[in-house]
Amino acid sequence: MMADSSFDVVSKYDMQEVDNAVNQTAKEINQRYDFKGVDASVKLKGETIVMKANSEERCLAVYDVLQTKLVRRGVSLKSLDVGEGEPQQSGKEYRLVGALKEGISQENAKKITKLIRDEGPKSVKTQIQGDEVRVTSKSRDDLQATIALLKGGDFDFAVSFQNYR
């Protein structure tokens, strides 16, 4: 009798990679000519990334550089939830705040299990465990087909896989 194989569907990011991307962004905006004299900055404060500049356009340009660095470091942009920009009281500074989000909500976990149930291999079983979804099957080929299905899925959150055994 062969034991079941399994993997976990999670929504996580590597904090070290996020930190590296923020540091690279800060370095680039300090060196680039188009950011001279606009007081542009980017900082990581706990689970949020704060981008500042003296105009909305420059702040959005900082955000664009940050997105490029995150993608290069393998961090999904769906892990970053950037709200609306806000001018400060003085009117001389514009700020964007991006919150890093991790974990799969119950509603999103149900979306994943429904997609696997409807379109995935029939031998695959799913189980919601807190903020992750455990997927099990006797066939590793079915598990790999399920991973391919989930990678092709259009979710509004980052999807990654761990504990494949």
| pLDDT tens, per residue, the chain with 165 residues | 456 888 888 888 889 999 999 999 999 999 988 888 888 899 999 889 999 988 888 889 999 999 999 999 988 888 888 877 776 656 678 888 999 988 888 888 888 888 888 888 888 888 888 888 888 888 888 888 888 888 888 888 888 788 777
Residue 24 identity = Q
- Give 103's DSSP letter: S
The pTM assigned to this predicted structure is 0.80
**What distance in Å separates the CA atoms of residue 137 and residue 119, rounded to the nearest whole number?**
15
Q: Return the CATH number at 45.
A: 3.30.70.990
Examine the domain organization and report whether 123 and 96 are in the same domain. Answer: no
* Res 90: pLDDT: 64
Note whether 37 and 110 are same-domain residues. no
CATH of the domain at 130: 3.30.70.860
The separation between CA 83 and the C-alpha centre of its own chain, rounded to angstroms, equals 15
Model pLDDT, residue 20: 94
The one-letter code for the residue type at 102 is E
Could you give the number of structural domains in the chain? Answer: 2
Q: Which residues pair with 87 in a beta bridge?
A: 94
The parent domain of residue 131 ranges over 5-12+103-162
List beta partners, residue 48: 45, 99
